[in-house]
Structures are given as structure tokens and as C-alpha cells.
């Protein structure tokens, strides 16, 4: 039960982090903001890709946590 709830919490955090990366990447692409000194990605497109990976992985983790919680009931 503890790990299921922890997985759900981490899924929420990962989703928020991924959404923030995508938003910052899109903002940097439109404004021409130099991001290479703040983020490990060299271009805004790489930042959006990293955010999309975080989003997909956190969605998968959330689904697995939900399955674990319903299987427990």
C-alpha cells in the first residue's frame, strides 16, 4: 500500500515536472530564450522532448499505481 501511494505521488510530481519542461521549451522556442546555461538540453526542441518523456513515464507510473491500488481492494 505504501509503495502504491508513493508511486502515485511520484507520478503526479513527474507529470508536473514534464509539463513544466514542455512549457518552458515552448516559451523558449517562441521568444528565442537561451536555455543552454539553465538546462542540460541544448535546444528548446530537446527540452520539449525531455518533457514529453517525463509526461509519458509519469502517466505509465500513475496507471501502474492505480492498478496496484485497485488490486489491493
- pLDDT tier, 35 (very low <50, low <70, confident <90, very high otherwise): confident
At residue 38, the pLDDT reads 82
- Contact between 25 and 54 (Cβ < 8 Å): no
41: nearest Cα among 50, 33, 32: 50
CA 43 to CA 58: how far, in whole Å? 23
At residue 25, the pLDDT reads 93
Q: Is the pLDDT of residue 72 over 80?
A: no
Q: Is the pLDDT of residue 64 over 90?
A: yes
**Rounded to the nearest 5 degrees, what angle is found at the Cα of 52, between the Cα atoms of 48 and 53?**
120
Q: Is the pLDDT of residue 39 over 90?
A: no
Higher pLDDT, 57 or 37: 57
In angstroms, the Cα distances linking 14 to 19, 29, 36 are 8, 22, 22
Average pLDDT, the chain: 92
Amino acid at each position: 500500500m505504501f509503495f502504491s501511494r508513493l508511486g502515485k505521488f511520484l507520478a503526479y510530481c513527474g507529470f508536473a515536472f514534464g509539463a513544466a519542461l514542455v512549457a518552458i521549451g515552448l516559451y523558449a522556442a517562441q521568444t528565442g530564450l537561451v536555455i543552454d546555461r539553465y538546462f542540460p538540453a541544448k535546444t528548446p526542441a530537446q527540452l520539449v522532448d525531455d518533457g514529453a518523456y517525463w509526461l509519458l513515464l509519469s502517466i505509465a507510473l500513475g496507471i501502474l499505481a492505480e492498478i496496484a491500488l485497485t488490486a489491493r481492494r
